[in-house]
Structure 1
Amino acid sequence: MAFPLTFNQRIQIKSQKNRLQNVCFGLPMQKRICFGAVMKIAVARFWYEANSFSPFTVGMAEFRAREWLRGDAVGSAFRGTATEIGGALEWADARPEVELVFSRCASAPPGGPVKQELLDEIVAEIAGDPLFHDVDGIYLSLHGASLGTESLASEEEIVCRLRACYPETPIVASFDMHACPTQRMVAALNGAAVYRTYPHIDMAETAVIALELLAQNITGEIRSSVLMQRINKILPSFGMRTAPGAPMTEVVHIANEQVSAFDGVFAVCPFASFAYADTPAANAGVLVTYAERSAAERAAAAVCRKMVSLRKKFTPKLRAASEVLQSRPWDGGKRIAILEPSDNPLSGGGGDTPGLFKAALDMGVPEGSVFAFFNDSALVARAAESGLNSQLDVALGGQLDRRFGAPVAISVYVEKLTMGRFVNAGPMEAGRPTELGPTVLLRSGPLRIIVTSAAQSPNDINYFTLHGINLEHVPVLLAKAKNHFMAALGPIFDRVIQVDTLGPAMANTYALPFQHVPVERFDLS
């Protein structure tokens, strides 16, 4: 049975339908390999990003609402989705010689640290799963920036415990661009792949890279290790979109060049780290999968030099929310999206800070504008009890945490109630179900306000369709979002502006009480 390897030196995506057939970076083209028997690969997943300054910790309810699966249920949930597991399933479907078996697959929306008892349960279940006893290789889908209420390196614990149990079994992992990998974890891997796009629309492709590396290690075509080199800096994500001319795009380009420049180097994957994870491992750098150590060191050094040379371009330059709103950027009929990244749930925000909302009330916005969103399950329940078209006096924001501002008192009308369920249209995580919990759409003067029962970034068109909102007719959208917003919703607006407010993911990291990250890592001067 022929084993087709699909990598050259860059990504080519011709259409959403055939994206996986056209992933072309990361691994040099090798000769086709023939297998005489089934290749059995075990898959486990722990995908969580923790903001140390989030107003809440995360428990089982958040994981069950998003992803708490194992066995055959994993394939049923993920087939056809633009996710790592979706990519793994499509990769295996094209190869009759490959069998995937699934251990625990768990993820939750970003937030605060995971409750330690639950984190210990997840680590123990994956690391001690007898499923791994009779497999040829292990693929781990890891975000790379999880934290517990006590532990600071749970992914390291998973990988190292598996390596101790299975010293000869190839283990490969995929990571988010904002991972915080440790040297001990990296030393236990045979290969690593990292998202190359931000917004992260290449999750499925990243899994394919990891699985191709794993397959080559299983068959003995290569026997690889992973090298990590870091720059003692954390690159803020505000300006990290991989758009043409952007600094991260240049870094990814240099990384891709190293694969063709050096024999014995199979994948070169830069990562920026996560600026709100208070862990010693928060530190940008590069992961190189290699067979030739000296070549890997040279490749890593080239990428790190590029990161250091471009560091100043990653410095966020955001204007205050009140200043932006006072300038009335919508004048002349322009349709504007104003983003509040300091409370972006995909950076660990809680959907609770009042800064942008208060500025909008103080400065005024055009009729038909929308604010998305506040996370307040108690208010949703109160609105549901009051009923459609009822009037309520409410306090918005500052319900979970008043460090970043006091609640804003306002009178509203209840316009729409929903159960908060939709399927992502994509491109990011296309086909994946999303649970907001029960929601309410409120109206106050010219502004409609979405209130949810869970903190989920408003990055998908169906988030708004659920609430009867056609974004084509919205003059100003105020959203607790960041760069991922651009994948689906950026093209809808004439201009997208990120503004600065107080919050757990604010631009001024110096104002946050870090304990484990040296302050010099935030100095990009």
Structure 2
Amino acid sequence: MRIGVARLWHEANSFSVCETTLAQFQAREWCRGEAAAGLYRGTATEAGGALSWADARGDVELVFSRCASAAPAGPVDQAVLDCITREIAEDPALEGIDGLYLSLHGACIGTVDPDPETTLVAALRARFPDLPIAASFDMHACIAPELVERLDAATVYRTYPHVDMAEAAIDALDMLATIIDGKRKTRVLLRVIDKILPSFNMRTDGPGPMRDIETEAQTGGVATSADAPILAAYPFASFAYADVPQANAGVLVTCEDESRGTALAEHVVRAMQANQARFQPDLPTAEALLASRPWAAGERVAILEPSDNPLSGGIGDTPGLFAAALEAELPEGCVFAFFCDPETVAKAHEAGVGATLDLSLGGRLDAWFGTPLRVEAEVLCLTDGRFRNEDAMERGMPVDLGRTALLRVARLRVIVTTGCQSPNDAAYFRLHGIDIDHVPLLLAKAKNHFRAAFGSRFDVIRSCETLGPAMADVSRLPFRAVSRERFNLKNQRDT
């Protein structure tokens, strides 16, 4: 069995001023063929899962076309997307394959095309009208009906933090192989709830609404044996900062029997509607949270600033939490992670360890979220920004932050990077000579994925609200294509 593999993974925040270019893809994942197999083997990623699945079967050859992934940011340069689409859709290496697996995010946006993933799948379906095609998606996908109707099977991450990327690929490939082996005829059903579920209260590593919805979704199970009918339901929440018409939460059901698939989809939709109000965020301001001094009892505390979380399309530049920290009475040994500021990193490298610099931090990209802060900083450490993830999420994947610097500003050790990526792995801090297990207070531009590595390392993890491209109060963001009603999460019985 020969199965083609291609990947387009990017989550675009419509309110980020940082356009995604080819350089961002090349810095994260830009590979094909044997180079792709070498990069992904042994990693906790979709492609890593595909490789382990093929190895376990022993009767499968994977053919890697273009695999492209960039860290979440603003919309992608359209020329880059057009290049990726052509390269995959016209790839001669895909001739003669028995099926195709696509690793997609579902929330990619181009500077011109608002739905490039549908464009890609449409081009592939035009080339391969009868080929079985399966895809996996992020939980925060924005999935259009035009995309779904061109697929034969689909999966979505079931965990948040997303520690089941490999499993999402394996489940998709199990269904794809069953379709190929048994010449089965399946279809993918899409049902939406006309709401967008914000991700602040969406964790599945403990009690919560998304965990309850996932339990309901798995009522029908996933059948992959040769004689069992395929029936699999995967809810998705959409992405709250994608200003595109297809932004809508719902469920994907892959089925052979449409009546059974429809019944399961409607069951999951009812569960989502019943739980939607539980997703409404209610975060304290940074000033109020710091003023409460949650570390006062001696507990180790992490305070997160999700409004500027890079994995939600944050820009690593908003000054809200940092400004509040400079005014607070912090304990010794605190760490602030991070600012993305290539110019400051360059100045620190030029000056060297031990130098003292007068700097402006934050507010350099978009003054609407706050103005720069003048500080005096001592250069503590300089790095090349390279490490390999060691914790649960994307374990084994190499990371390149570009050159970085660790500065001391008042009582804070401040990490400043060239690239904009979330501080979600212990190796990120070890790179800078920081033992995260001995930090009394960490201030981080991060969100729920942070907990995959640090959920058991801190006694208290709290989030605060500041101005930023991924703030909880979406009413302050200038949506045009998405109705405000999709953010009204009151249950009917509450209205």
Compute the RMSD of aligned alpha carbons: 1.1
Helix, strand or coil for the counterpart of 2:359? strand
- TM-superposed CA distance for 1:260, in Å, is 7.4
Aligned to 1:226: 188
Q: Which amino acid aligns with 2:109?
A: L
2:15 to 46, 49, 53: 53
Displacement after TM superposition at 1:358 (Å): 0.3
- Kindly provide the amino acid, as one letter, of the partner of residue 159 in structure 2: T
Question: For the residues of structure 2 that align with 1:381 and 1:320, how far apart are their CA atoms?
Answer: 32
Kindly report which structure 2 residues correspond to 1:59-138, keeping only aligned pairs within 5 A, or say none.
Answer: 59-138=21-100
2:313 aligned with 1:383, yes or no?
no
Q: Distance in 1 between matches of 2:177 and 2:86?
A: 26
Residues 128-167 of structure 1: CA distance to partner in whole angstroms, max 9, x if unpaired? 2122221000000000100011111111011111111111
Give me the whole-angstrom Cα distance separating, in 2, the residues matched to 1:150 and 1:415. Answer: 43
Which one of 358, 366, 370 corresponds to residue 405 of structure 1? 370
Output the amino acid matched with 1:501.
T
Q: For residues 509-520 of structure 1, what are the structure 2 equivalents within 5 Å? A: 509-520=474-485
Contact 1:238 1:483 in 2 (8 A): yes
Measured after TM superposition, the shift of residue 193 of structure 1 is 0.6
Q: Residue 370 of structure 1: which of 335, 338, 352 is its match? A: 335
Residue in 2 aligned with 1:4?
none
- Give the deviation of 1:264 after TM superposition: 4.3
Q: For residue 113 of structure 2, what is the aligned residue in structure 1?
A: 151
Distance 1:166 1:222 in 2: 17
- Take 1:354 and 1:265, find their aligned partners in 2: how far apart are those partners? 50
The partner residue of 2:271 within 272, 291, 306 is 306
Residues 238-257 of structure 1: pairs in structure 2 closer than 5 A: 238-257=200-219
Report if the CA contact (8 A) 2:187-2:255 is conserved. yes
Q: Under a length normalisation based on structure 2, what TM-score does the superposition of the two structures give?
A: 0.97
Cα distance per residue 1:221-248 (max 9 Å; x no partner): 5321100000000000001000332100
Aligned with 2:145 (options 159, 171, 183):
183
Question: In 1, distance between residues paired with 2:341 and 2:450?
Answer: 22
SS of 2:368's equivalent?
coil
Give the CA deviation at 1:445: 2.3
The normalised TM-score by structure 1 is 0.91
The answer to whether structure 1 residue 201 and structure 2 residue 163 are counterparts is: yes
SS in structure 1 opposite 2:53?
Answer: helix
Which residue number in structure 2 is paired with residue 337 of structure 1?
A: 302
Inter-partner Cα distance in structure 2 for 1:408 and 1:327: 23
Residues 360-416 of structure 1: CA distance to partner in whole angstroms, max 9, x if unpaired?
011231110000000000100001111110000111101111110001111010000
> How far does the alpha carbon of each residue in 1:278-311 deviate from its partner, in whole angstroms, 9 at most, with x for none?
1101000000000111111110111011111111
| Alignment length (residue pairs) | 486
In 1, Cα distance between the equivalents of 2:93 and 2:245? 32
Distance 1:321 1:349 in 2: 17
Q: Which of 244, 250, 263 is residue 285 of structure 1 equivalent to?
A: 250
Residue 479 (structure 1) aligned with residue 441 (structure 2): no
What amino acid maps onto 1:196 in structure 2? Answer: R
Structure-2 change in CA distance of 1:57 and 1:260 (3 Å): closer
Counterpart code for 1:463: Y
Corresponding residue to 1:162 among 104, 113, 124: 124
Q: Answer yes or no: is the 8 Å Cα contact 2:234–2:253 preserved in 1.
A: yes
Cα separation, 2, equivalents of 1:224 and 1:130: 27
The amino acid across from 1:465 in the alignment is: R
In 1, Cα distance between equivalents of 2:34 and 2:372? 45
2: CA distance between counterparts of 1:167 and 1:117? 26
Contact residue 63 and residue 94 of structure 2 kept, 8 A: no
Q: Is the 8 A contact 1:43 1:103 kept in 2?
A: yes
Partner of 1:140: 102
Q: Is the 8 A contact 1:369 1:447 kept in 2?
A: yes
SS at match of 1:491: coil
**Contact 2:220–2:231 under 8 Å retained in 1:** no
Q: Distance in 2 between matches of 1:453 and 1:210?
A: 36
Classify the secondary structure of the residue corresponding to 2:95: helix
Matched, 1:348 2:313: yes
SS of the aligned residue for 1:295 comes to helix
| Alpha carbons 2:406, 2:415 under 8 Å: kept | yes
Letter in 2 for 1:295: R
Contact 1:370-1:449 at 8 Å conserved across structures: yes
C-alpha distance in 1, partners of 2:329/2:374? 16
- For 2:81 and 2:243, the matched residues in 1 are separated by 17
Give per-residue Cα distances to partners, 1:7-38, cap 9 Å, x unaligned. Answer: xxxxxxxxxxxxxxxxxxxxxxxxxxxxxxxx
**Residue 462 of structure 1 pairs with residue 427 of structure 2:** yes
For residue 379 of structure 2, what is the aligned residue in structure 1?
Answer: 414
CA distance in 1, matches of 2:146, 2:436: 47
Q: 1: distance between equivalents of 2:292 and 2:57?
A: 57
Q: Distance in 1 between the 2:258 and 2:221 partners? A: 13
> Relative to structure 1, is the Cα distance of residues 264 and 95 closer, same or farther in structure 2, using a 3 angstrom cutoff?
closer
Given that residues 265 and 288 in structure 1 are in contact (C-alpha distance below 8 angstroms), is that contact kept between their aligned partners in structure 2? no
Alpha-carbon contact 1:442-1:450 (below 8 Å) kept: yes
Q: Could you tell me how far apart the structure 2 residues matched to 1:518 and 1:295 are? A: 32
The residue aligned with 2:493 is none
The code of the aligned residue for 2:47 comes to I
Partner amino acid for 1:109?
Answer: A
* Residues 231 and 261 in structure 2, CA contact (< 8 A), matched pair in contact too: no
Q: Residues 214 and 435 (structure 1 numbering): CA distance in 2 closer, same or farther, change over 3 Å? A: same
Q: Deviations over 1:31-86 (max 9, x none)?
A: xxxxxxxx000000000000000121010110000011011100111100000000
Do residues 500 (structure 1) and 465 (structure 2) align? yes
Question: Kindly, what percent of the aligned residue pairs are identical?
Answer: 56
Task: Please name the residue that 1:214 is paired with.
Answer: 176
Which amino acid is 2:254 matched to?
T
> Contact between 1:264 and 1:295, CA under 8 Å: does it hold in 2?
no
Q: Aligned partners of 1:341, 1:332: CA distance in 2, in Å?
A: 25
Per-residue deviation, residues 431-469 of structure 1 (Å, max 9, x unmatched): 000111000000022110000001000000000000000
Task: State the distance in 1 between where 2:429 and 2:208 align.
Answer: 29
Paired residues of 2:201 and 2:281 also in contact (CA < 8 A):
yes
Which consecutive residues of structure 2, in runs of 5 or more, have no partner in the other structure?
Answer: 491-495
Structure 1: runs of 5+ lacking an equivalent: 1-38
